[in-house]
Amino acid sequence: MLARLRGVDGLGRAEALAERFRADLDRPLGELSRGNRQKVGLILACFHSPELLILDEPTSGLDPLMQEEFLALVAEERERGCTVFLSSHELDEVERVCDRVGIVRAGRLVAVERVADLLAKTQRRDRVEVEFAEPVALADVRALPGVVGATFAHATLEEVFLTYYGEGEGEGEK
C-alpha cells in the first residue's frame, strides 16, 4: 500500500531490510511488540531509498543490537547522499551519526552548529578517570605514585546540550 502511495513499483529494499532488522512481516502490526513495530516503521521509511529521511526517536524500543544496525543503516543512507533529519533524546547516538545538530529550548531553535564546533566551543567539562593501587586524597592526585590506569574524556554532546537547559532563564543561549 505504501509503495503505491509513494509511486514506487514493488517493495524496493523492504525484504532485505526486514531480514537485516529481523522483522516479522507475516504478522499483523497490532500483534507485534513495540520494538518490532519500530522495525517495521524503519523499513517503511527506508525501503524506497528516499532522498530525505525524517526520523523521530528511531531507536526507541529497539534492543542494543538493532540500535547498532540502525546506526549502520543511517551511515549507509548518508553515504548514498540521503539527507537525514534525526530527532532523538539519545544524544550519544546523535553525536555518532550527525554532522550538525539543532538544539530546541522552549520551542525555539537556540543553536544549529556542527557537532565538532559545538563541542569545541563549549565550556569544557572534561573528566579524568584514574585508578589507584591504594586509597589517596584527591587533592594529591597528580603527585602520587601508584596510578595504574587513567582515561581522559572530552565533554559529550549530552553535557553540551545540558548547558542550553541551565536553571537560569536564558542561560546557555549563546
pLDDT attached to residue 11: 79
The partner residues of 153 in beta bridges, in order of sequence, read 127
Higher pLDDT, 20 or 95: 20
Give the pLDDT band (50/70/90) at residue 62. very high
Q: Which residues pair with 104 in a beta bridge?
A: 109
DSSP label at residue 33: -
4 has pLDDT over 80: no
Predicted local confidence at residue 168, as pLDDT? 47
The model's confidence at residue 169, banded by pLDDT at 50, 70 and 90, is very low
Total-model pTM = 0.66
Beta bridge partners of 151: 129
Contact 65, 34 (CB under 8 A): no
- Give φ, ψ of 152 to 5 degrees: -110, 130
**DSSP-based three-state secondary structure for 102:** strand
Could you tell me the domains of the chain? 2-98 (3.40.50.300), 115-174 (no CATH)
CA–CA distance, 92 with 94 (Å, rounded to integer): 5
pLDDT exceeds 80 at position 91? yes
77 or 137, greater pLDDT: 77
Give yes or no for a contact between 123 and 58, defined as CB atoms under 8 angstroms apart.
no
pLDDT at 68: 92
Residue 111 · residue 102 · CB < 8 Å: yes
Cβ–Cβ under 8 Å, residues 118 and 160: yes
Residue 159 or 148, more confident: 159
